[in-house]
Amino acid sequence: MRICYGDEAGETAVYDPSEPTSTPVFVLAAITVDTARADRLLMDYLALKSAYDPALKGRLLADVIQHEVKGARLRRAIRSEDSPRSARRAIIYLDRALRLLEVSGCRIMGRVLVKRAGEEYSPAATYPSAVAELAETFNDQLTAGGERGLVILDAQTKVKNQGNVHTITTRRYRKGGNAYPGLIESPVFGHSDTHVMLQLADLVASALVYPAAIAAYLEPDQGDPQRSPAYQTVRELFGRRLANLEWRFTDGQTFRGPPDMAKREGTVPRPLRKSEYALRFATRQAEKGWTDLVATAADASGTS
């Protein structure tokens, strides 16, 4: 059995670039965990929290569980210009948390909405549709693995909770058949101070996917906390790892899991003149990665 834990980052309200608190992106992200590996993941994450915050050492288990290292807090630390040490500690924390998800066989899924400035997005439609898409993707994963599972979302208000789940409940009991046969129940709600896995979902949504999406789709602006150039660091350090954890289902029969470049080979037509192209490395890491790729390709073809 697998459990899907989901949380959101950003808002569905109109994006106003002149307002520092206005969010340009809405994210609903989730981690899925095999219940056989969930207990170990939980205890490892509690140990990580205790190591990150010395005040938790020697505290009761209940205190460690309820203490939250919020993704928004880490995001603020990463973009802080006054405390490079805090930014480094935040990056290290995210690196280790993501590593726990990797070794635990977790998968990431969800939805990212990059908003157009000034455009209306209905909260009554945007969030429920994202939840329905999440449920569909999770159901695909369950079907592919011959498993059943449950979705647990971070609780909001009662009115919002009802609206977010009503569509799924209706689709489960419609005359045409259950649209989510892998789910044992419609999504339920939990509170992150008592559900440790929701804390991990918050990190993925708020501290990883949210800033990475902003770095990918919006121009950086040092004066705008929502478009901090520091978010590019998150994308460069963790983007590939997030992609490797992503669950993707291309159709009803074919599963496409973590990207595997070796299985999707293809050649790019060679330009006829040098003036037709220009290659530039965005970072030193990219330059080194290209050099390593060329060497690997040469070894494989026996030309080295």
How high is the mean pLDDT in each 10-residue block of the chain (304 residues)? 96 88 93 96 95 88 92 93 89 96 96 90 82 93 94 83 81 88 94 94 97 92 87 94 86 48 38 47 59 63 52
State the pLDDT at residue 283: 58
Closest-CA residue to 33 (of 140, 137, 150): 150
The CATH homologous superfamily of the domain defined by 2-262: Ribonuclease H-like superfamily/Ribonuclease H (3.30.420.10)
State the pLDDT at residue 99: 97
Which pTM does this prediction carry? 0.79
State the pLDDT at residue 269: 43
Q: Is the dihedral of CA 129, 130, 132, 136 positive or negative?
A: positive
State the pLDDT at residue 298: 61
Q: Is the dihedral of CA 10, 16, 17, 19 positive or negative?
A: negative
DSSP 203: I
Closest-CA residue to 209 (of 109, 130, 285): 109
Collapsed DSSP state (helix, strand, coil) of residue 154: strand
Burial class (CB in 10 A: 0-12, 13-18, 19+), 60: exposed
State the pLDDT at residue 198: 97
Convert 19-36 to b/e letters by CB count within 10 Å (16 or more is b): eeebbbbbbbbbbbbbee
| Residues 171 and 139: beta-carbon distance below 8 Å | no
CA dist list (Å): 145 to 42, 180, 199, 255: 23, 14, 26, 10
| Residues 31 and 64: beta-carbon distance below 8 Å | no
- Where in the chain are all domains bearing CATH 3.30.420.10? 2-262
Checking phi first, is residue 208 left (phi over 0); if not, alpha (psi -120 to 50) or beta? alpha
State the pLDDT at residue 260: 37
State the pLDDT at residue 208: 97
Cα–Cα distance between 155 and 130 in angstroms, integer? 15
DSSP run (H or E) holding 7 = strand 2-9
Phi, psi angle pair for 32, to nearest 5°: -115, 135
State the pLDDT at residue 123: 76
Phi, psi angle pair for 256, to nearest 5°: -125, 105
